[in-house]
Amino acid sequence: MIAVVMAGLLAAQRPPDANASSLAVSLGGQVVTDDGSALPERIAVLLSCGPGAVISYTNKAGLFSFPGQNSANQDCLVRVSLKGYTSEVVSAMKAMASGSGNVGTVKIHRVPETAGVTTSATSAGASKEAVKAFEAGLASVKKGKPEGAVKEFEKAVSIYPQYADAWYQLGRSQLAAKANEAAVASLKKAMEIDPLLVGPQVQLGVLAGQRKDWAESAKYLDQALELDGLSYPTAWFPDAVANLNLGNFERAAKAARMAVSADPQHGNPRAAYVLGMALAETQDFKGAVAALKDYLAQAPGAADAERVRGLIAEFEKR
């Protein structure tokens, strides 16, 4: 029934002159929740074919359609924009190449309200002098002067020792100034003052991962992402790596999926690789093969491409 309705929607959206462009294809699909729960009404769906996007809205069944699109030289991506939900990003390339126009389903996932914060409530207690020093530190950061920023943030925390945001920015500036030990101390201080401040935990987890201290990296990143998995999307990848190295394969697969979803432009192909390896460890060889093939498609010249092809051949036999 859905296929029939979809065909009707797509047909209704086709240009009056079907011969105007052999490349113009009307696109359509359906929004669904990943857990099968009821959909909100009138969901905004975005179609991006390069810079900018066009918007459509779903009907009560979650179906959507876009009029004829002509994109011979670039992929088009479809995603949902809905407060309280994250959306997978679906490529329309196959639908356009085949002429069917059906991009299939676009899954959305309900996101609970985050407990973590990006700005600490302790900042409300800062004096004018402390705030002035803090803002001067931020100005130095923008100018690319970490040493100057360190001095200003140190001044801010000396005036107001409970200034968690200033401790966090002090740690970041110390890292930029190559003062790593001092930076770790500052980040831990920020976390101690406000355990809900997510930024310091993410930074500490990334630093631990760089040292290959996987247990500490996972500890900080798991906690940070449980508090707020939306504001720091790049934290999912190091979290996946840490948990993969620890043998926490289910967690690694979850984090890697989030890393892939948060990177629709494929700026980090290794996320697909880590997903593939984590899925293989959970005995999901079909999923592992798909993820590793995605990795090779994104990074065909990767140094480990031949080894990955061997893994794919092995997993396909399972």
How confident is the model over 57-113, as pLDDT tens digits? 999 999 999 887 655 445 678 888 887 787 888 888 887 777 788 999 999 987 666
CB 109 within 8 A of CB 33: yes
pLDDT at 50 over 80: no
What pLDDT, on the 0 to 100 scale, is given for residue 230?
A: 80
pLDDT at 234 over 70: yes
Domain 2-110 -> CATH class: mainly beta
- 69 vs 33 pLDDT, higher one: 33
Rounded CA-CA distance 32/99 in Å is: 23
What are the extents of the domains in the chain? 2-110, 114-223, 232-318
What pLDDT, on the 0 to 100 scale, is given for residue 314?
A: 96
- In 3D space, the residue among 227, 218, 273, 224 whose CA is nearest the CA of residue 247 turns out to be 218
pLDDT at 304 over 60: yes
Question: What pLDDT digit, counting tens, does each position of 239-296 carry?
Answer: 999 999 999 999 999 999 999 988 888 899 999 999 999 999 999 999 999 999 999 9
Question: What pLDDT digit, counting tens, does each position of 150-191 carry?
Answer: 999 999 999 999 999 999 999 999 999 999 999 999 999 999
114-223 with 232-318: one CATH topology?
A: yes
Radius of gyration over alpha carbons of the chain, in Å?
24
pLDDT at 13 over 50: no
The answer to whether the pTM exceeds 0.75 is no
Estimate to the nearest angstrom the gap between the alpha carbon of 92 and the chain centroid: 20
- In 3D space, the residue among 191, 250, 182 whose CA is nearest the CA of residue 216 turns out to be 191
CB 203 within 8 A of CB 187: yes
pLDDT at 318 over 50: yes
What pLDDT, on the 0 to 100 scale, is given for residue 1?
A: 38
Estimate to the nearest angstrom the gap between the alpha carbon of 113 and the chain centroid: 17
**Which CATH number is 114-223 given?**
1.25.40.10
What architecture is domain 232-318? Alpha Horseshoe (1.25)
Rounded CA-CA distance 101/29 in Å is: 8
